[in-house]
Structure 1
Amino acid sequence: MSLPAFVEPPTKETRDNARRCLEATRDSVNQLTTKINAAEATLAQIVRESQYAISQLQTERTALENQVSKTMAYLSPIRLLPLELLREIFLWMFEDHPCSAWILAAVCTSWRRLALRIPVIWSKIRLLTTQHASADTIRLWLERSGDTTPLDIEIFLRVASSKASEALSHRARRTPSLLTPITPPWNNLAFGSHHISAHYVVAPPPGPPASSVPIVMPPSPSSHNDSWGAPAGGSSTQERPANAVSRVSMHWGHIAFFYLVEQMHRWERFVFRFDKQFTSMGALKSINGEAPLLKEFEVSSIEAAFFAEWPWLPNANSSSSVVLPKLRTLTLQHTPFKWSSPMLRGLHTLNLRGLPTSHLPLDRLLHILSNNPELQSVSLHFQGVLPAILPLTNLTLPHVTSLALGGHYLLTQLLESLVLPVLDSLTLDIEARDAIEDIISSLLTRSNRPPIQHLSIAYGVAANAATFYYGPGGLVISWTALLAELPHLKTLTIGGTSLEPLLTALGSPEDDPNQHQNLAWACPTLEVLGLRSCHAHTEGVTKLVQMIEARNPHNNGTAQSVNGVTPLRLARLELYECTNLGEDVMKWLHSRIGDVVCVDPAADSRTSLTHGYL
């Protein structure tokens, strides 16, 4: 429909024509709108019918696909496996992954029934939790492990806030060392790390997960009525009010240890670690009773808490009847114990870190060692030690291969009373007041010069060199004389000493002014060298380069032979807060040594060179 021409200026006739045209146009618009609405309604009906038909077809396809899946599952070769073989596979999985039972039981109904009929795969409790999580996870684990299966228990309780935990993890990872520290299993623990998450059931925190690392989530304490009769997944803590969470945290220890101590007769290994004091810590007092299967026992705290003497197993009186016939490994760190407790007898491995308020006389520490003639590994750390009440006598420990002493300077007197004929590893983080080389030399002489392969002095994570006083002579006066007595040494880690004398002694014998005749390489089998907070003068970097040049010649060559002895090449070098090396020296070190770890003392930032720069 063509529009009429509007003449300017408008006249009465043209205005009448425009009104008639407007009316006709409006009628046409209404007619077209009616037709469009009718067409759209017809199309919508067609779409609805088509969508319904498609939905019906999709439903039929889903049903057929489910049938296909069920049929394929029925035809799966694993269905032909006898239950005995499937049981063996479950057991193999359990050997490599202690928490695999939770995953295996979640695959299908038949696997769940089989998993619940194998108590042994529930016998290793590996739980990383907080006091805000439910303790029912422990109850479920214990129930599924049966009534007679020996229990291997490791529970790590994270009490510190998330920020504190991250800082703790950062500190633990910042200065890794091949050397075993005073507290081997605890100093390297980083809550929430890949290692922990991969092998432990991680209790859900009261909020979203802080890490994207795959973890095994324990059952939720809120529901026990899922389709399999087990707790449903997910965390109910987020839905609980704050006062309910507070009540859980107040009673977590009492509930958890009620379940655990009930099964104490089945304990074969018990490890409980926590990072700081927690509200229900008094529940540890319930650890009392007979444990005829117990081989290893540990209760450790990172924080040096101040406890009274609890009436628990390590505090038992010497006349108490303690049934621990198989106990061979004991670790107590920052937890109370009595030096005369029957629990501290007949051990092979002993690891004690005393409370700051604990001040034992030296003769009582020696008494602890004398009650364990079969000891193989000893680690003692005491910040407070009193002089001996009774005279100290020499004590021979014929099986000790590893000795670690740390803390008060009077512990050097304890070291002077020991005879260790098969000693292999010696770790000393003692607050010595004088040079310590004479003490080590006397130990070697008394012990008929055992082939020590690992020596560490003032190198522990807690042994900040600034807290140690070694007098004007330094940590060791003559490194040449000391290292000459350690020809079998493979690992040497030192903290808080002067850098130049040590590097000179380890370098080419011709460059050592202390070797006037009968030149010989110091520690010809040395493979790992670690230095922490070792102060250097102007020639420190030069001495380091000269030592590496002598032991690790260019192009993987062999060092110069002296009197028929050629030293091994260094495989690892650790330098923590010693001296600024410079990028060129670091690149040169990397070309000579396969593994170099360096922390700049100024920036306190780690630069690790392993197959390239990071």
Structure 2
Amino acid sequence: MSCLFPDPPTEATLADARRVLNDTQTSVLEITSKIDAAEAALAEIVKESKYVISEMQKERARLEEQAFQTRAYLSPIRRLPTKLLRDIFMWSFEEYSCCAWVLAGVCVPWRRLALKMPKIWSKIRLLTTQHASADTIRLWLERSGDSVPLDIEIFLRVTGSESLSRRRRHSLSLSPPPSPPPWPVFSHHQGITSHYVIPHPPGTGIAILPPPHTPIVLPPSPGGHDTWIASPHPSTERVMPSSSRSSLHWGHIATYYLVEQMHRWERFIFRFDKQFTSMSALKSINGDAPLLKEFEVSSAEAAFYPEWQWLPNASATASLVLPKLDTLTLQYTPFKWSSPMLRTNLRTLNLRALPTSHLPLDRILYIIANNPALESLTLHFQGVLSAILPLVPTTLQSVKTFNIGGHYILSQLVDSLILPSLDNLTLDIDARDPIEEIISNLLSRSNNPHLIHLSVAYGSSSSSTFYYGPSGIVISWTTLLTELTHLKSLHIGGTPLEPLLTALGPPDDETNQMSTWACPKLESLGMRNCHAHSEGVAKLVQMVEGRNPDSAPGNVAQAVGGVSPVKLKALELYDCASLGQDVVQWLKGRVDEVVCTEPAYDR
């Protein structure tokens, strides 16, 4: 200010200053007005430019869409004859049973063609809940026409927490993940194909989910939201409501649609993890099925069921038309021992009876004897009564796989069977007699078939009574295993660890009196709940070292009597002993696949 006006101020200089201030403020207002006008003009120019750019972008998008449609029109696949495109659809169907949903969602011409091909809709692979619409089944059946044989697999999840870990891939690829489980699932919902991963089912002993690499479809929920989408984090998982109107009637609606097409069933598999509200609808499964080859209804939960009047409960005098049925599986569902369905010359029979079912032993044998062509036989009965009629020795020439578990009286059933072709044996019964005698006598009666797989008490039971006779003496593993010269896989549960490992160890061991290797072809060994004493871990190391010596050149397993054991490839120990990290690392250096879990009391 001192440069504009003299100091100190006078009346004259103050008047000049007031005049200058008024002029300056007037100039500021004029310049501000000009700036506002310039900015307004610029904004108008920007607005006009943006509008022009927007119009050009729209035109570009239109031209790009036109180019895309033109390229699509020029695409070689457009020139494919319909017959060849049908062949491609059929090849896809042979590889992926649910491809029809994806093919029908590609474009209008493909959808029209897919809907004209009932064959590619003939395999139903559905993972669902009671809260999903049963119309998915109706739609699938309608698209399969009225004459094509049906291959049906439906898996109903009833548990309260029905969340799935989800991996969304924005792709139409139908390739399953490289690892075996978890199982791949494809959801077709509002034109989007999503890839999900189903977690392993809880340890129930019964699988209620699809086999590995089985592509299946998840239905959309009635409200338009995918009920199976969930966060991978437990804290944010959504739990389905425990009841709803749809869940009350799902079974009745779905079963109605399915039974209506029963004359076309070729395979029918229905599995559920526990009882559900409309479960009684299964009693509607009745009538003739002239094409049916495989039938299965399985529950993972043992519960009380009434005796439904359905196919497995048919009267002994009923006339059922099931000429092609060769595979039957009933797990925790009601059946009658005299039903014609159980005497149709089956090749595969799998029965897991309800806990409330108590059949006399001779009637179980009656079921077996009426199917002389059996190749695979699986029986599990928790309640069994003594035989009413004498048990007759029964020969099953073709049985290769025999699995039996449950009540101790079933050991008498084993003593009545002759299985000359047996190569896979699973025993999970509460035997009162030494188990090695039951196995040895069975093999001896059967002319010593080449047993490849043996499993004893390796299932859900953890009882050690499988290995104790009336006197409480542990069975002689040495005697039994020496006879199994062709055995490749051995799974044992509930036995003391040391005697088993001693029998499988080197024959020249001081505590091993064998003159040759036991099970020289053994490649896989699994042990569950086999309690170990002080020398258990040492015996394990000695056994592995004897069968899998150091990989240095020239190191091979010791030959005894001209026989050397093959290399052990897989070793599993569940709740057996605390090995220590050093021992586990050593085992992994000798055996290709090693799985160990510590006993609960050590955790």
- TM-score band (shorter)? 0.7 to 0.9
Q: Distance in 2 between matches of 1:158 and 1:5?
A: 93
> What residue number does 1:220 align with?
none
Q: Distance in 1 between matches of 2:163 and 2:136?
A: 25
Q: Is the 8 A contact 2:128 2:154 kept in 1?
A: yes
> What residue number does 2:58 align with?
59
Q: Is the 8 A contact 2:523 2:568 kept in 1?
A: yes
Any residues of structure 2 matched to 1:595-614 within 5 Å, and which?
595-602=593-600
Q: Does 1:203 align with 2:223?
A: no
> What residue number does 1:425 align with?
424
Moved more, 364-373 or 431-440: 431-440
Moved more, 203-212 or 500-509: 203-212
Give the C-alpha shift of residue 52 in structure 1: 1.6
Corresponding residue to 1:489 among 487, 490, 493: 487
> What residue number does 1:160 align with?
159
Give the C-alpha shift of residue 88 in structure 1: 1.4
Q: Is the 8 A contact 2:434 2:466 kept in 1?
A: no
Any residues of structure 2 matched to 1:120-199 within 5 Å, and which?
120-162=119-161, 172=200, 186-187=206-207, 189=208, 195=212, 199=215
3-state SS in 1 of match to 2:351: strand
String of CA shifts for 1:181-235, please: whole Å, max 9, x gaps: 9x7xx43x558x9x57x611023466461268xxxxxxxxxxxxxxxxxxxxxxx
Any residues of structure 2 matched to 1:369-388 within 5 Å, and which?
369-388=368-387
Specify the code of the residue in structure 1 equivalent to 2:404.
L
3-state SS in 2 of match to 1:162: coil
> What residue number does 2:500 align with?
502
C-alpha root-mean-square deviation of aligned residues, in Å? Answer: 2.9
Number of residue-to-residue matches in the alignment: 560
Give the C-alpha shift of residue 26 in structure 1: 3.4
Q: Is the 8 A contact 1:577 1:604 kept in 2?
A: no
Specify the code of the residue in structure 2 equivalent to 1:199.
P
3-state SS in 2 of match to 1:293: coil
Corresponding residue to 1:533 among 529, 532, 542: 529
Moved more, 464-473 or 441-450: 464-473
CA 512–122 in structure 1, closer or farther in 2 if over 3 Å, else same: farther
> What residue number does 1:592 align with?
590
> What residue number does 1:269 align with?
267
> What residue number does 2:95 align with?
96
> What residue number does 1:335 align with?
333
Give the C-alpha shift of residue 20 in structure 1: 4.4
3-state SS in 2 of match to 1:510: coil
CA 474–501 in structure 1, closer or farther in 2 if over 3 Å, else same: farther
**Gapped runs of 5+ residues in structure 2?**
166-181, 183-197, 233-237
CA 87–164 in structure 1, closer or farther in 2 if over 3 Å, else same: closer
Give the C-alpha shift of residue 81 in structure 1: 2.0
Q: Distance in 1 between matches of 2:253 and 2:602?
A: 43
Q: Distance in 1 between matches of 2:21 and 2:12?
A: 14
3-state SS in 1 of match to 2:443: helix
> What residue number does 1:364 align with?
363
String of CA shifts for 1:18-42, please: whole Å, max 9, x gaps: 6545544432332222212211211
Q: Is the 8 A contact 2:467 2:495 kept in 1?
A: no
Q: Distance in 1 between matches of 2:86 and 2:601?
A: 55
Structure 1 segments (4+ residues) deviating >3 Å: 1-8, 10-26, 163-166, 169-175, 204-208, 465-476, 602-605
**Gapped runs of 5+ residues in structure 1?**
176-180, 213-237, 606-614
Moved more, 105-114 or 16-25: 16-25
Q: Distance in 2 between matches of 1:493 and 1:67?
A: 65
> What residue number does 1:399 align with?
398
> What residue number does 2:190 align with?
none
Q: Does 1:550 align with 2:550?
A: no
Specify the code of the residue in structure 2 equivalent to 1:202.
L
CA 295–488 in structure 1, closer or farther in 2 if over 3 Å, else same: same
3-state SS in 2 of match to 1:107: coil
String of CA shifts for 1:97-122, please: whole Å, max 9, x gaps: 11111001111111111111211111
CA 172–112 in structure 1, closer or farther in 2 if over 3 Å, else same: closer
Q: Distance in 2 between matches of 1:127 and 1:475?
A: 51
Give the C-alpha shift of residue 484 in structure 1: 1.5
Q: Is the 8 A contact 1:475 1:496 kept in 2?
A: no
Specify the code of the residue in structure 1 equivalent to 2:230.
A
Give the C-alpha shift of residue 598 in structure 1: 1.0
Specify the code of the residue in structure 2 equivalent to 1:546.
Q
CA 163–101 in structure 1, closer or farther in 2 if over 3 Å, else same: closer
CA 17–257 in structure 1, closer or farther in 2 if over 3 Å, else same: farther
String of CA shifts for 1:556-582, please: whole Å, max 9, x gaps: 742111111111111101110100111
Corresponding residue to 1:304 among 302, 305, 309: 302
Give the C-alpha shift of residue 317 in structure 1: 0.6
Give the C-alpha shift of residue 11 in structure 1: 8.0
Q: Does 1:319 align with 2:317?
A: yes
Q: Distance in 2 between matches of 1:19 and 1:335?
A: 106
Specify the code of the residue in structure 1 equivalent to 2:131.
H
Q: Distance in 2 between matches of 1:282 and 1:122?
A: 28
TM-score (norm 2): 0.87
String of CA shifts for 1:78-108, please: whole Å, max 9, x gaps: 2232222221111111111111110011111
Q: Distance in 2 between matches of 1:250 and 1:7?
A: 99
Any residues of structure 2 matched to 1:239-318 within 5 Å, and which?
246-318=244-316
TM-score (norm 1): 0.85
Specify the code of the residue in structure 1 equivalent to 2:332.
H
Identity of aligned residues (%): 63
Q: Is the 8 A contact 1:505 1:512 kept in 2?
A: no
Structure (1/2) with the larger helix percentage:
1
Specify the code of the residue in structure 2 equivalent to 1:393.
V
Specify the code of the residue in structure 2 equivalent to 1:436.
I
String of CA shifts for 1:249-282, please: whole Å, max 9, x gaps: 1111111111100000000000000001111111
Q: Distance in 1 between matches of 2:266 and 2:493?
A: 38
> What residue number does 2:178 align with?
none
> What residue number does 2:444 align with?
445
Q: Distance in 1 between matches of 2:104 and 2:231?
A: 25
Give the C-alpha shift of residue 486 in structure 1: 1.1
